[in-house]
Amino acid sequence: MNIPLVDLKAQYRNIRPEVEAALADVLERSDFILGKSVAEFEAAFAKFVGVRHCIGVASGTDALWLSLRALGIGPGDRVLVPANTFIATALAVSYVGATPVLVDIDPASHTLDIDRARRALAPGVKAIIPVHLYGQPADMDAVLDLARREGLIVLEDAAQAHGAVHRSGRCGTFGAAAGFSFYPGKNLGAYGDGGAICTNDDVLADRLQRLRNWGSTVKYVHPEKGLNSRLDTMQAAVLGVKLRHLAAWNNSRRQVAGWYKEALAPLADDVELPCEAPWTIEHVYHLYVVRLRRADRDATLRRLHEAGVGAGIHYPIPIHLQEAYADLNLGPGSFPVTEEAARRILSLPIYPEMTREHVDIVAKALWEALAS
């Protein structure tokens, strides 16, 4: 049996009639741009997250960089970003002309290490982007404390954390704004690209509504230079359907993580399991990332693929070692915790439709891969 990293077809089979009805409604109305489904989804997602405003945009990347722009971050500014994240977090900073200041991670939670963030403070640092990575909240009490002391703007990257709960609140409610991605494989995924910004700031929300629509809220009146980055109405209709299932799907992901914990317990000498940080109330397991203590990670990954298990690596090349960021002049050894993680981590399949049998198959394949 092949077990993919994520199985979108299994999810579609379970919700097909609801999705088809929602899409048929859009086609009937033909309100394809900023249609009724967009406004309905924005209201529902704002309620789910627990914020006053949700602004649908074209992608998670746009959600982050438009937020930075609306928050007034620009050329000459610096923004603290964890070294271990998807490159889009750093690119969002680059897009507004600012410079990402990378910060190494806490080895247990894989999220930004606040002591290192404090040490990275320098003139020009205006903002910090905590990333709720793999579905686990970042250390938000510490982030907010640092931000208050140093006058930093907080923008959450919640692309991997729809529904995740920190002991001080839900992810997406902490910062001046939070960017979400609806990339298809996310916990809440569209059938194409999509993203959203959540905020409690009325003025920021107005500005973002304009920015995503060529700088206009009244047709052909443009108080500023915006762009075209709207959440597509068809995607919003799909997301509206899926949002109704999100809490149950997140529960299923946690159940799968529980099964992995049992099934992988005998491999404890070789495999370190993902931790739930002391500040985490609900980890939503967007990814199930283990760390191999001594085995050759790449060989293990190859053997898993040969056994039909779709494991992955998030992420194999840290941002500072990407050619795109050669201009940061940060060579190997700059962020040892991130670099060590990049060599040792392995993402095992996880999706809400996984069964105990699937988990046992993955655990057996991993055991065999490590034994050979």
Ligand X SMILES: Cc1ncc(COP(=O)(O)O)c(C=O)c1O
Contacts with ligand X, residue ranges (CB under 6 A): 59-61, 85-86, 88-89, 131, 157, 159-160, 181, 183, 193, 195
CB of 194 to ligand X, least distance (A): 7
86 versus 288: smaller Cβ distance to ligand X: 86
132 versus 210: smaller Cβ distance to ligand X: 132
Burial grade of 2 (CB within 10 A; 0-12, 13-18, 19 or more): exposed
46 versus 159: smaller Cβ distance to ligand X: 159
231 versus 307: smaller Cβ distance to ligand X: 231
CB of 182 to ligand X, least distance (A): 7
96-102 contact pairs (CB < 8 A, 24+): 96/65, 96/68, 96/69, 98/68, 98/73, 98/74, 98/126, 99/124, 99/328, 100/319, 100/325, 100/328, 101/125, 102/319, 102/320, 102/328, 102/330, 102/334, 102/335
Is 40:56 a contact under the CB 8 Å cutoff? no
67 versus 181: smaller Cβ distance to ligand X: 181
CB of 238 to ligand X, least distance (A): 14
CB of 197 to ligand X, least distance (A): 12
SS3 259: helix
CB of 212 to ligand X, least distance (A): 14
CB of 278 to ligand X, least distance (A): 22
Residues 6+ apart with CB under 8 A from 143: 112, 114, 117, 128, 130, 154, 174
Q: Give me the residue label for tokens 């962020």.
A: 335
User: In this structure, what DSSP letter does residue 51 have?
Assistant: -
Closest of 265, 247, 259 to residue 354, by C-alpha: 259
Residues 6+ apart with CB under 8 A from 189: 8, 182, 183, 242
Q: Count CB-CB contacts under 10 A for residue 171.
A: 30
Residue of this chain nearest to ligand X (CB atom): 60
CB of 178 to ligand X, least distance (A): 11
106 versus 270: smaller Cβ distance to ligand X: 106
31 versus 184: smaller Cβ distance to ligand X: 184
